Amino acid sequence: MALSVVDLRSDTVTRPSEEMRKVMSAAEVGDDVLGDDPTIQRLEKYMMDLLGKEAAVFVPSGTMANILGLLSQARPGDEVILDRNCHIFNYEAGGAAALGGLQLHPLDGPDGFLSVDAMRAAVRPINIHHPRTSLVTVENTHNRGGGRVYPYDGLKEIYRVAGENGLRVHLDGARLANAVVASGVPFEKYGKIADSINICFSKGLGAPVGSIFISDGQTVEKARFWRKRLGGGMRQAGILAEACLYAMENNIDRLAEDHARASRIGTLIQSMPGLRLLFPIDTNIIIFRVDDEAIDFDGFCADLESAGIMVLAFGSRSIRMVTHLDISDADIERVEEVMSGMTGVHGSGKSGK
């Protein structure tokens, strides 16, 4: 009998439920590039109303939503202030530079949270020798920050100071639904402290494809142009939009279950000698380090895989685990049993040097 797999590599591995597949198969569709897909129009209106914004455009991925945010609000040669560990700086293939001719100005902050003072100091004075600072981006929740929820007051202050300096603010809210559930701050309040927002439907919300870029009408008009230029226009994509609507209407409140299961894994890791939890567990992401050099890191990862626990190596001797709607309490019990029995963590067994 094949060993069942507990896939904790990412919340992008979720599969559409039978109920989601049913609504997808019945979706009313049209040609979205020609503006004729009623289901996409319904999704965009739903998200505009949720965030309190004028316009929205459906796109294939969060990476595309982020690059649209940059290209529609900054000109070639402009500078964008962001956190050094954010997704845009690390995981989007240098698109800001390659596609937009933008210069990224990374700052260091705890758990991916920008220091307002550091941000203010990074704004370039008007001078012919300097690039023009035009945009600030923030990420909530923060992937490389262990799924931390960006404090709302901190975001509000970033937005205020940015405005004082004539800067726009783009919120990479790929996992914003997780932040809403964990913090209790509603979507609409986040909409008030960012000029544009990316929300991804294919992570913890469980849709197979899709993100949305939300902003004012003029910015979204520019974003639609860039979507076309980048090849992101889709035709009868209402099939995908219906899945996203289902996810928004049915899969937000249940994110609390993912957070609780992640917390259980975090508690386990804190109890195990040789392992160190790198960030408090706010949402569904767990990042820990195998601190004990006596433990063979590659062997430790291999032992997990052999036991059917799939994880992601995440930097030097670090591992990321992400809970999601395809992970059950029984799966967490399996993780607890497997990891508690890994004798290599205690200095012997096949994971030990």
CATH number for 341 = 3.90.1150.10
Check which CATH number belongs to the domain holding 134 and give it.
3.40.640.10
pLDDT band for 289, please (50, 70, 90 cuts): very high
What pLDDT digit, counting tens, does each position of 195-252 carry?
Answer: 999 999 999 999 999 999 999 999 999 999 999 999 999 999 999 999 999 999 999 9
Report yes or no on 226 lying in a domain. Answer: yes
Residue 312 has pLDDT above 90, yes or no: yes
State residue 348's pLDDT score: 36
Same domain, 244 and 332: no
- pLDDT of the residue at 235: 95
How far is the C-alpha of 57 from the C-alpha of 227, rounded, in Å? 9
Mean pLDDT value of segment 150-170: 97
Reply yes or no on whether the pLDDT at 295 is more than 90: yes
pTM exceeds 0.75, yes or no: yes
Q: Is 186 part of a structural domain of the chain? A: yes
Q: CB–CB of 137/113 below 8 Å?
A: no
pLDDT band, very low/low/confident/very high, at 344 (cuts 50, 70, 90): low
Last residue of a domain, one of 216, 250, 284: 250
Average of pLDDT values for 268-294? 96
Task: Using the 3D structure, point to which of 192, 224, 250 is the last residue of a domain.
Answer: 250
Q: Scanning the structure block, which residue is given the tokens 């062997």?
A: 299
- Beta-bridge partners for 305: none
* Same domain flag for 245 and 273: no
Beta strands in 78-205 (DSSP E): 79-83, 103-107, 133-139, 168-173, 196-200
Residue 4 lies in a domain: no
Shared domain check, 230 and 287: no
State the pLDDT at residue 2: 62
What is the amino acid identity at position 329?
D
Task: Give residue 119's domain range.
Answer: 16-250
Cα–Cα distance measured from residue 350 to residue 220, given in angstroms and rounded to the nearest whole number: 55
Say if residue 214 is in the same domain as residue 287: no
259 shares its domain with 231? no
pLDDT exceeds 80 at position 3: no
Please give the pLDDT value at position 353.
Answer: 35
Please state the φ and ψ torsions of residue 302, each to the nearest 5 degrees. -65, -35
Per-residue pLDDT averaged across 140-165, rounded? Answer: 97
Co-location of 138 and 241 in the same domain: yes
> In this model, does residue 104 exceed pLDDT 60?
yes
Q: Please indicate, yes or no, if residue 7 is contained in any of the structural domains.
A: no
Position 352 in a domain: no
User: How does the average pLDDT of the chain come out, rounded?
Assistant: 95
Angle between helices 62-71 and 217-229 (to 10 degrees): 120
Has residue 192 been placed in a domain? yes
Mean pLDDT, rounded, for 4-23: 96
Query: What's CA 227's distance to the chain center, in Å?
Result: 20
Same-domain status, 162 and 223? yes
> Residue 113 falls within a domain, yes or no?
yes
**Residue pLDDT, tens place only, 46-103:** 999 999 999 999 999 999 999 999 999 999 999 999 999 999 999 999 999 999 999 9
224 lies in the same domain as 164: yes
- Whether residues 243 and 102 share a domain: the answer is yes
pLDDT reported for residue 142: 97
Last residue of a domain, one of 250, 283, 301: 250
Whole-angstrom Cα distance, residue 76 to residue 96? 9
What total number of domains does the chain contain? 2
In a domain, 91, yes or no: yes
Q: Is the pLDDT of residue 260 over 50?
A: yes
Please list the residues that pair with 106 across neighbouring strands: 82
Q: What percent of the chain has pLDDT over 70?
A: 96
The residues with which 215 forms a beta bridge, in sequence order, are 55
Question: Are 272 and 228 in a shared domain?
Answer: no
Whether residues 22 and 133 share a domain: the answer is: yes
* Judgement on whether residues 53 and 178 belong to the same structural domain of the protein: yes
